[in-house]
Every structure is written in structure tokens, then in C-alpha cells.
């Protein structure tokens, strides 16, 4: 028994211990063949290599005239080279074209370079003529030509396994001719808020009620983190209702988040009560502020991870950033960095409870390298959180910091 246990205090887990237990319990989603339209945010399980050269054929980089560079070598402003124009090639023209020496072919951007041509004279360097063209400057062989394979050769690595697909990656896959991709899909997240006091925003309140905000915020945070996310209708403080909501959500979610009902309030802590009979959820105290009461485990036949986040909105959000986001990454077996660690100089003194790591809400000025804690650090103060763009981290053993000290900060998404 430790001194704390003998003294009757619950032992708290460190942030790291708790996070390690979470990520160890998560099995990555199975990879699937995804259409590109469904693959934004998915994480590649295999390297993607080029099957064909990119571009697949020599083509024009400009609107102009396809020529042999040697034929226009003597062109000047004063003495243009005049060549007959023997035809026109537009983008999408799949016919074979041959360039007869000492002639030209009108050519558009993206059109295949005719056989026998080795350069394109941009229309700006000509008189733009239709049956014949006056060329006012020479061009080098290869000018304004995009060569076959100039962007990628067959077998080149286009995207390594582990890439989380963004817009440009999807564009590249499409350009390289891939209609589908093998990847772990975006996790599907359902957020369930519990509380008898909660009513839908936009409706009338009576004293004692509040507008529900956590499910809206956390579902949006999950979407910002690259998930499909939905908000379950508000659940009252009844064990049966919580169980029914969890069972219902299990059908189409890869990860569940509940909010509220996990503090020390006994019978009102219905999430605790409901999940005691279902799955492997354990409720723990984590040595942090905000967000000390945490719960995590798996439920349902597929072992779906579930987070029971505290109801205070700032606690819920900070918990999401610290624990749920890494869990979402683990579901996709994604090891890239989300929030680069940074340092900044405190502009004001701060206090922090002994034995807990504080995540104070702050406004970071990146160019000045400074961070200013916002006024209103209580865990219900969502307006203060909304003014912040960073969390200032104060270590467990530190109870106060003076202005001017350098601190660790995490940028908020």
C-alpha cells in the first residue's frame, strides 16, 4: 500500500499511463478497398506505386505551335520565321499526327505532341496565324513539352504506407489512374450526452436546465480530426436509457464517446452505473486538470472502444484532445504527428494544483513566441476556451510559474 492509499486517497494515474493503456487496448480497423470518393482521411496500408508513366504521353505545356526547334532557330523579332500551319491538335485528340519538316501544327495545352516535333512555340511568341504563322523567337528542343514520365516513372513510389490521405494525395491517386485504394477508413464516432439538465440548443430553457453543448462540440472535433461523427439524441440520467443508447450506437460506430455522469455524485452518475454491467470500462482518476475523472474500455461484440468523458465542457474537450485523438489515430494505425509540441514564454504568472498536470487555456502568439493564459480557467468556461488557441502545460510537481518562464504548449486544433 502506498502512503496515499493508506491515507484513503484514491491513487491517480499519470496522463502517460492512462494514454498508454488506451492505445494498447485499441485494435486498428481492418483495411478496406475504398473508392477515392470515400477515402479522404483514410490511412494507406500499402505503398502506392505508379503503374504507368505520369504523364503517359509527351504533350504540350502551352497553347502554341508544335515545331522542330531547328526550323525556327533563326527567328527574330525583325525577321520572323514563317511556317505553314498544317492542322490543329486539341487536348483529347487521340489521332496520330505527324509533323512535316518546315511546317507547324497548332497545338493546345495537354494535347499529344505530334511525331517529328520536338518543341512548342507559345502563341505569345507568334502572330497567332491560322494558315501560316510568323514565329518571332527561337525555342530550344524540348521547350514547352511535358515528357512522358516526367512527373513519375512506372514503379516510382507515389505515396508510402501510413499516409493519411488528404486532397492532394487523392488528386495524385486519381491522376495516376487509381480508382480505389487499400486503406483503413475514417473511424465512425458517435457522441452520447447524458444529463437531465440538458435541452437542445435553440429551444426554450426553464431555470435549472442548460443547453447541450458537448455532443455538438465533440462530434465536430471528431470530424475535424478526420472522422465521420454523429451526435446521439440527449440521454436522460437513467441507467436503462444510457444502456439503450450505447447498444443502439454500437451498430454503426467504431468508437463511442459519452459525456457526463462519471463524477463522484453517486446515483446521478448513470454512465458509471450503466457501464459497470457492460464491457470492460474502468473508471479512473488521472492526475490532470481539467479532466480528472476518466473512463475507458471496450463494449459490444466488436470490442468497440468507449470513452466516458467528464461533463464539464472544457474537461470534455481537453480530454478529447489528449486521449481520444490518439485513440482515433490508433484505430487507423496512424503514427504521424498531430499536434507538434512547442515552447513559449509565459506573459503572466500562473498557479497549478500540486500533483496534477495542468492544461491551462492560453492564447499563443507564435511570432512573438509568447503565450498568455486566458481569464476564466474553470472547467465550465467554454467562452474562455473559445478564445484560446493553445494549452499551457504545467508539470505535476509545479504549483506556480512566474511570467517570463518558458513553458510547454500544445496548439489546439
Closest-by-Cβ residue to ligand AMP is: 311
210 binds, among Mg ion, ligand AMP, none (CB under 5 to 8 A by kind): ligand AMP
Of 64, 195, 305, 326, the residue at the interface with Mg ion (CB under 5 A) is 195
Residue 98 in grid coordinates:
505527324
93 binds, among Mg ion, ligand AMP, none (CB under 5 to 8 A by kind): none
Specify burial of residue 167 (Cβ count, 10 A radius: 0-12, 13-18, 19+): exposed
Reported in sequence order, the residue ranges of 170-328 that DSSP labels E, i.e. its strands, are 180-184, 188-193, 198-199, 210-211, 228-231, 255-259, 282-285, 288-289, 293-299, 304-309
Chain residues 21-50 in contact with Mg ion, contact rule CB under 5 A: none
Nearest-approach distance from CB 270 to Mg ion, in angstroms: 8
Phi and psi, residue 335, nearest 5°: -115, 5
Which CB atom, from 31 or from 195, has the smaller least distance to ligand AMP?
195
Which CB atom, from 136 or from 232, has the smaller least distance to ligand AMP?
232
Phi and psi, residue 175, nearest 5°: -60, -30
Interface with ligand AMP by CB under 6 A: which residues?
Answer: 193, 195, 197-198, 210, 212-215, 259-263, 265, 310-313, 380
Cα dihedral sign for 63, 68, 74, 79? negative
Verify binding: residue 260, Mg ion, rule CB under 5 A: yes
Which CB atom, from 143 or from 217, has the smaller least distance to ligand AMP?
217
Which CB atom, from 309 or from 331, has the smaller least distance to ligand AMP?
309
Nearest to 191 by CA among 248, 238, 239: 248
Nearest-approach distance from CB 265 to Mg ion, in angstroms: 7
Residue 374 in grid coordinates:
486566458
Nearest-approach distance from CB 166 to ligand AMP, in angstroms: 31
Residue 1, CA distances (Å) to 10, 148, 168, 355 in order: 11, 72, 56, 18
Residue 285 in grid coordinates:
482518476
Verify binding: residue 279, Mg ion, rule CB under 5 A: no
- How many chain residues touch Mg ion (CB under 5 A)? 4
Nearest-approach distance from CB 191 to ligand AMP, in angstroms: 9
259 binds, among Mg ion, ligand AMP, none (CB under 5 to 8 A by kind): ligand AMP
Nearest-approach distance from CB 225 to Mg ion, in angstroms: 25
Residue 108, CA distances (Å) to 121, 184, 216 in order: 11, 40, 50
Instruction: Please state, in angstroms and rounded to a whole number, the distance separating the CA atoms of residues 340 and 320.
Output: 16
Verify binding: residue 313, Mg ion, rule CB under 5 A: no
Site residues, Mg ion (CB under 5 A): 195, 260-261, 311
Amino acid at each position: 500500500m502506498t502512503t496515499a492509499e493508506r491515507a484513503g486517497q484514491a491513487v491517480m494515474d499519470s496522463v502517460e499511463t492512462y494514454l498508454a493503456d488506451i492505445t494498447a487496448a485499441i485494435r486498428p480497423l481492418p483495411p478496406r478497398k475504398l473508392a477515392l470518393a470515400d477515402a479522404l482521411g483514410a490511412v494507406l496500408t500499402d505503398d502506392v506505386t505508379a503503374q504507368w508513366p505520369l504523364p503517359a504521353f509527351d504533350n504540350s505545356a502551352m497553347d502554341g505551335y508544335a515545331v522542330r526547334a531547328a526550323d525556327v532557330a533563326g527567328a527574330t523579332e525583325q525577321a520572323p520565321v514563317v511556317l505553314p500551319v498544317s492542322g490543329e491538335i486539341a487536348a483529347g485528340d487521340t489521332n496520330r499526327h505527324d509533323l512535316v519538316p518546315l511546317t507547324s501544327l497548332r497545338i493546345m495545352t495537354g494535347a499529344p505532341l505530334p511525331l517529328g516535333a520536338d518543341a512548342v512555340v507559345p502563341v505569345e511568341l507568334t502572330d497567332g496565324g491560322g494558315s501560316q504563322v510568323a514565329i518571332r523567337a527561337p525555342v530550344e528542343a524540348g521547350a514547352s513539352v511535358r515528357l512522358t514520365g516526367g512527373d513519375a516513372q512506372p514503379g516510382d513510389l507515389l505515396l508510402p504506407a501510413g499516409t493519411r490521405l488528404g486532397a492532394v494525395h487523392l488528386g495524385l491517386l486519381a491522376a495516376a489512374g487509381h480508382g480505389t485504394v487499400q486503406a483503413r477508413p475514417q473511424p465512425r464516432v458517435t457522441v452520447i450526452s447524458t444529463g437531465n439538465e440538458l435541452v437542445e440548443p435553440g429551444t426554450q430553457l426553464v431555470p435549472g436546465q442548460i443547453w447541450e453543448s458537448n455532443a455538438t462540440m465533440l462530434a465536430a472535433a471528431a470530424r475535424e480530426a478526420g472522422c465521420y461523427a454523429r451526435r446521439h439524441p440527449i440521454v436522460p440520467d437513467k441507467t436503462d436509457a444510457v444502456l439503450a443508447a450505447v447498444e443502439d450506437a454500437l451498430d454503426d460506430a467504431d468508437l463511442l464517446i459519452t459525456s457526463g455522469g462519471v463524477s463522484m455524485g453517486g446515483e446521478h452518475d448513470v454512465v458509471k452505473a450503466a457501464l459497470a454491467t457492460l464491457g470492460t470500462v474502468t473508471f479512473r482518476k488521472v492526475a490532470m486538470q481539467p479532466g480528472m475523472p476518466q473512463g475507458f474500455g471496450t463494449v459490444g461484440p466488436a470490442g468497440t472502444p468507449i470513452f466516458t468523458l467528464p461533463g464539464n465542457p472544457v474537461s470534455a474537450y481537453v480530454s478529447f484532445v489528449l486521449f481520444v485523438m490518439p485513440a482515433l489515430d490508433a484505430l487507423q494505425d496512424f503514427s504521424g504527428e498531430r499536434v507538434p509540441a512547442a515552447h513559449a514564454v509565459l506573459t503572466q504568472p500562473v498557479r497549478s494544483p500540486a500533483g496534477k498536470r495542468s492544461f491551462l487555456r492560453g492564447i499563443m502568439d507564435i511570432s512573438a513566441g509568447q503565450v498568455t493564459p486566458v481569464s476564466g480557467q474553470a472547467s465550465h468556461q467554454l467562452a474562455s476556451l473559445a478564445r484560446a488557441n493553445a494549452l499551457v502545460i504545467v508539470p505535476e510537481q509545479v504549483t506556480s510559474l512566474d511570467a517570463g518562464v518558458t513553458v510547454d504548449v500544445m496548439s489546439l486544433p
